Amino acid sequence: MSQALAPLLSQHPIFQTLALPLLLALLGMAALRLWPGERWALCGAMLGLVGALAWMPGFEWPAQSRTAKLPWVVLAGLCLALLALAREVGGVRLIRSPLVTLVAVAVWVWAGLWLSGGQASPPLLLGAGLLGGAVLWLLARGHAGVVAPAAATIGLAVLAVAALGLAALAATGGSLLLAQLAGMLATTAMAGAGWSWLRPSARMAAAGGHWLWPLGLTWLSIAWTWVLAAPAPSAGYTRALQVALLALAFGVPVLMSSVSAAALAPRWKRLVLPGLVLPAAALLAAVAVALAWWAGVASMGGTPMPDTATDPNDPYLTP
């Protein structure tokens, strides 16, 4: 009985979306904390995400469908994060930060072109490139200012909020597979946020936001895949606008750091302002999801019916 139940549980969406990414992220962070050290620990969450994606949908080569390409994009992002963390060895800066940023943008441009497969229109490609560069910059820039003491926790928490919003958009848009992948991303980000919150040494060791780029690239790739799966060009532009609105959540830490910090006392900067970041990001995500739901209801004459226009090569179709 138990032998027959184990394979069934391992294929269950709840196990794949919640249990597996959480377990692998915690194991990865614990392993990297032991070696090479606390500075690298939060990259263990990204290792957990790569492991979960290896389980579902898996690493296939050659990758034909967009969902088969997603794990490879995440792996490329992980290599980029390791490159950024290895900029300083023995106190010697090996790679300058602007160069790493340019490499990150180049990785996203490559990922966007690869995922589109030549099917996206030039304006949509341009918008995806600009939005991706902005998100990557905001993830790195969000560590500055008053949120710096809790930058790792806040960055991961905002990523989790944006991933949950993306999961809701994908689910209402008819792609349960992309919703599940976004849920895996949210679980990984929440595991990292919990780790950094409980371990101040890990929170302070995470210098800069470059190690967030693998999760940011994952978010962008899932969102871009959802936009490309639209049933018509007009629907694709509508989805792109919804994703852009959702991406505003990444700018909340930067906005609160640069605009509100000057008017607050140091104690308020340290204690109160970081606590306002997550609710503000959640509000923006809720607005984006609500607008998408309202647009779906209006297009169906009052009946919220999700479309079934997913990638024709994807094995996961809605009933």
pLDDT tens sequence across 64-89: 888 889 889 988 888 887 777 766 54
d(CA 63, CA 311): 13
- Asked if 35 contacts 185 with a C-beta cutoff of 8 angstroms, the reply is no
**CA–CA–CA angle 164, 190, 96 (5° rounding):** 100
pTM of the model: 0.83
Tell me which residue of 172, 228, 217, 206 sits closest to 79, measured CA to CA: 217
d(CA 202, CA 184): 22
pLDDT in tens, 209-238: 677 888 899 999 999 999 988 887 888 888
Residue 154 CB-density burial (10 A; 0-12 exposed, 13-18 middle, 19+ buried):
buried
Residue 29 belongs to a domain: yes
Tell me which residue of 153, 203, 165, 169 sits closest to 33, measured CA to CA: 203
Residue 238: the pLDDT is 86
Residue 49 belongs to a domain: yes
Q: For the residues 235-256, what does the mean pLDDT come to? A: 85
Residue 205 belongs to a domain: yes
Residue 286: the pLDDT is 86
* Domain range enclosing 279: 11-299
Residue 134 belongs to a domain: yes
Number of domains in the chain: 1
Residue 315 belongs to a domain: no
Residue 312 belongs to a domain: no
Buried b (16+ CB within 10 A) or exposed e, 4-23: eeeeeeeeeeebbbbebbbb
Tell me which residue of 218, 230, 288, 170 sits closest to 45, measured CA to CA: 218
Contacts of 236 (CB under 8 A, 6+ apart): 120, 121, 124, 227, 228, 230
Residue 5 belongs to a domain: no
Percent of the chain with pLDDT over 90: 13
User: pLDDT grade, residue 311 (50/70/90)?
Assistant: very low
Residue 306: the pLDDT is 44
pLDDT in tens, 266-293: 555 555 555 677 788 888 888 888 877 7
Select the highest-mean-pLDDT range: 33-47, 146-160, 249-263. 33-47
Q: What is the sign of the dihedral through the CA atoms of 163, 165, 166 and 172?
A: positive
Residue 128 belongs to a domain: yes
Percent of the chain with pLDDT over 70: 72
Q: How many other CB atoms sit within 10 Å of the CB of residue 63?
A: 19
- Asked if 70 contacts 221 with a C-beta cutoff of 8 angstroms, the reply is yes
Residue 191: the pLDDT is 92
- Asked if 212 contacts 85 with a C-beta cutoff of 8 angstroms, the reply is no
pLDDT in tens, 179-209: 999 999 999 999 988 888 887 665 545 555 6
d(CA 218, CA 101): 17
